């Protein structure tokens, strides 16, 4: 007996969550665009371009946080290299955006500016097809997937676990960062890609394009949430948490943890790649510093702050930490690292379940008091 997929997907979230998701989408797709376009800038109801870019950016981060939570919260595998997959997706889409500049670059050449600067005469082989949106959209998912698959296959097959795995992923993203810093690698070296003009022929700075990108990000985030909810509620999700809790038992009852870990690892990487691709046109730049170990480890703190092993937690965490970051870096730039550092310490010491766990505890207390 098999249930139709639609029913299964519907049952992934409860009624309340579906309503919340609907409200979120209505806000992102209708309310914010209306407030942005229909109210003058001096109006109290106006939503500024800055706010839209900021929220759009944080939604991309939230997507990464959900991806991280799938592998860490549910799979028990802490990756310190997720920034790599994010950046790979970003670079893949950045190639397309660079080609869309066309002859409007400062050298007015067919090749992207940095290649002219390096005195290259033609596109390197891996840039072939980068002017096609379809091919690049495929690369955005395929490149992180292939890198994650190859790395994950060897790591999980040798049963590398825990901190070892974390440190090796950190080394991986570090190595990739060094590679992308080189000019000869063919991705713009230090400066990466920037100065984009168009996407699919539309001006990248126009309000309409921004709102479409914003809405796309919101839809992707919502779809990812539903997908992730379905994933963790499926038997696959139960096997995954079982691997996290007692890997040897799961092997002796006949599951091969390698393929389970690899599947969630690749899914997580692909989600990061998509997030990176949505991030680049909104923020307008991608460079190798996205792959720095510090960036990747920051992803972990978003998840930890929100509460790992829950799906809403990482989204809350990504928003709280990044809003705090934009406020600090404007108001008290010298204290941001102190705050972030203390956040790492306080969350791990006092809030192992994150804000969601804290909320649940408070609710339970309230419930007890009411009884």
Partner 1 sequence: MLNTVNIFEDDRPEGSDGADQMGHFVTGELDLSHGVALYLEDITVSFDGFKALNNLNLEINAGELRCIIGPNGAGKTTMMDVITGKTRPDSGKAFFGQSIDLTRLTEPEIAHVGIGRKFQTPTIFEQHTVFENLELAMKTDKRVWKSLMAWLAGDERDKIAETLRLIRLDGEADRQAGLLSHGQKQWLEIGMLLMQEPKLLLLDEPVAGMTDDETMRTAELFVSLAGKHSLVVVEHDMAFVEKLGGLVTVLHEGSVLAEGDLATVQNDQRVIEVYLGR
Partner 2 sequence: MKKTLIALLLSLGSLSAQAALDPAQVRPLAAEDSSDKVAAIRQLTQTADPDAVRVLKAMAEDSLFLAGDKVVIIDGDKAFDGATGEAIKMPANPESPTVNNRIRGELASALAALKLFDADVSVRLASAQKLQSQVTPEMAPLLARALEKESDAQIKALLVLAHAQANLANTDPAARLAAVKALAETSSPTIKSVLLPLTNKAGEPDDKVRYEAIAAVKAIDSRLAIAENVGRAFSGLSLGSILLLGALGLAITYGVMGIINMAHGELLMVGAYATYGMQTLFRAYFPNAIDWYLPAAIPVAFFAAALVGVVMERTVIRWLYGRTLETLLATWGLSLVLIQSARVLFGAQNVEVSNPSWMSGGIEVMPNLILPWNRIIIVGFAMFVLFLVWVLMNKTRLGMFVRAVTQNRPMAGCVGVPTSRIDTMAFALGAGIAGLGGVALSQISNVGPDMGQGYIVDSFMVVVVGGVGQLAGAVWAALGLGIFSKLLEGWVGAVIAKISILVCIIIFIQKRPQGIFALKGRFVE
Residue 151's binding partner among partner 1, partner 2, none (Cβ under 5 to 8 angstroms by kind) is partner 2
Reading the block at residue 108, the tokens are 């007015």
271 scored as a contact of partner 1 (CB under 8 A) = no
Taking the least distance from each CB to partner 1, the nearer of 253 and 345 is 253
Instruction: Name every residue whose Cβ is closer than 8 Å to that of residue 142 and which is 6 or more positions away in sequence.
Output: none
CB of 81 to partner 1, least distance (A): 22
Interface pick for partner 2 out of 8, 352, 360, 366 (rule CB under 8 A): 352
CB of 352 to partner 2, least distance (A): 7
Tell how far CA 76 is from the center of its chain: 18
3 scored as a contact of partner 1 (CB under 8 A) = yes
Q: What single-letter DSSP state applies at residue 192?
A: -
Task: Give me the 105-144 binding string for partner 2, x by CB under 8 A, dash otherwise.
Answer: ----------------------------------------
Reading the block at residue 224, the tokens are 């990812």
Residue 322's binding partner among partner 1, partner 2, none (Cβ under 5 to 8 angstroms by kind) is none
Q: Which residues pair with 193 in a beta bridge?
A: 286
Site size with partner 2, rule: CB under 8 A: 43
Q: Where are the beta strands (DSSP E) in the chain?
A: 193-194, 198-199, 202-203, 285-286
Instruction: Give CA–CA dist 266/263, Å, rounded.
Output: 5
Stretch that binds partner 2, among 21-29, 56-64, 163-171, 234-242 (CB under 8 A): 163-171
Phi, psi of 184, deg, nearest 5: -70, -20
- The H-or-E segment that residue 286 falls in is strand 285-286
Neighbours of 283 (CB within 10 A): 16
Instruction: Give CA–CA dist 130/142, Å, rounded.
Output: 14
CB 265 within 8 A of CB 258: no
Taking the least distance from each CB to partner 1, the nearer of 63 and 262 is 262
Taking the least distance from each CB to partner 1, the nearer of 55 and 232 is 232
* Count of residues in the chain: 371
63 scored as a contact of partner 2 (CB under 8 A) = no
Torsion 286-287-290-291 (CA) sign: positive
Stretch that binds partner 1, among 147-155, 180-188, 240-248, 346-354 (CB under 8 A): 240-248
Q: What single-letter DSSP state applies at residue 46?
A: P
213 scored as a contact of partner 2 (CB under 8 A) = no
337 scored as a contact of partner 2 (CB under 8 A) = yes
Reading the block at residue 262, the tokens are 């690899």
Phi, psi of 202, deg, nearest 5: -90, 145
Site residues for partner 2 per CB under 8 A: 78, 151, 154-155, 157-160, 162-164, 166-168, 170-172, 174-175, 178-179, 181-182, 293-294, 297, 300-301, 304, 334-335, 337-338, 340-345, 347-349, 352
Site residues for partner 1 per CB under 8 A: 1-3, 8, 231, 234-236, 238-239, 241-242, 245-246, 248-257, 259-260, 263
């Amino acid at each position: 007996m098999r249930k139709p997929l639609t029913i299964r997907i519907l049952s992934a979230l409860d009624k309340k969550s579906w309503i919340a998701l609907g409200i979120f989408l209505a806000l992102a797709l209708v309310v914010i665009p209306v407030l942005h376009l229909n109210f003058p800038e001096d109006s109290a109801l106006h939503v500024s371009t800055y706010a839209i870019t900021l929220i759009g950016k944080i939604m991309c981060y939230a997507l990464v946080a959900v991806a991280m939570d799938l592998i860490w919260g549910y799979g028990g595998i802490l990756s310190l290299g997720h920034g790599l997959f994010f950046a790979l997706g970003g670079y893949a889409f950045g190639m397309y955006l660079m080609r869309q500049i066309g002859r409007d670059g400062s050298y007015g050449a067919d090749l992207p500016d940095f290649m002219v600067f390096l005195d290259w005469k033609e596109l390197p082989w891996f840039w072939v097809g980068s002017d096609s949106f379809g091919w690049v959209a495929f690369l955005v998912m395929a490149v992180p997937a292939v890198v994650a698959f190859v790395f994950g296959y060897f790591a999980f097959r040798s049963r590398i676990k825990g901190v070892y795995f974390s440190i090796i992923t950190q080394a991986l993203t570090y190595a990739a960062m060094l590679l992308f810093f080189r000019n000869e690698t063919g991705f713009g070296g230090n400066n990466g890609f920037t100065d984009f003009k168009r996407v699919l022929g539309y001006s990248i700075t126009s309000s309409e394009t921004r709102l479409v990108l914003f809405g796309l990000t919101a839809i992707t985030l919502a779809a990812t949430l539903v997908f992730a909810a379905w994933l963790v509620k499926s038997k696959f999700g139960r096997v995954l948490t079982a691997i996290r809790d007692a890997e040897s038992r799961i092997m002796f009852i006949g599951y091969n943890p390698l393929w389970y870990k690899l599947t969630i690892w690749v899914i997580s990487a692909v989600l990061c790649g998509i997030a990176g691709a949505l991030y680049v046109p909104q923020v307008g730049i991608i460079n190798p510093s996205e792959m720095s170990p510090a960036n990747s480890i920051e992803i972990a703190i978003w998840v930890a702050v929100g509460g790992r092993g829950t799906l809403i937690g990482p989204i809350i965490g990504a928003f709280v930490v990044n809003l705090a970051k934009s406020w600090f870096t404007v108001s008290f730039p010298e204290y941001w690292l102190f705050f972030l550092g203390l956040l790492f310490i306080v969350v791990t010491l006092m809030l192992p379940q994150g804000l969601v766990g804290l909320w649940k505890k408070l609710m339970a207390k309230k419930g007890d008091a009411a009884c």
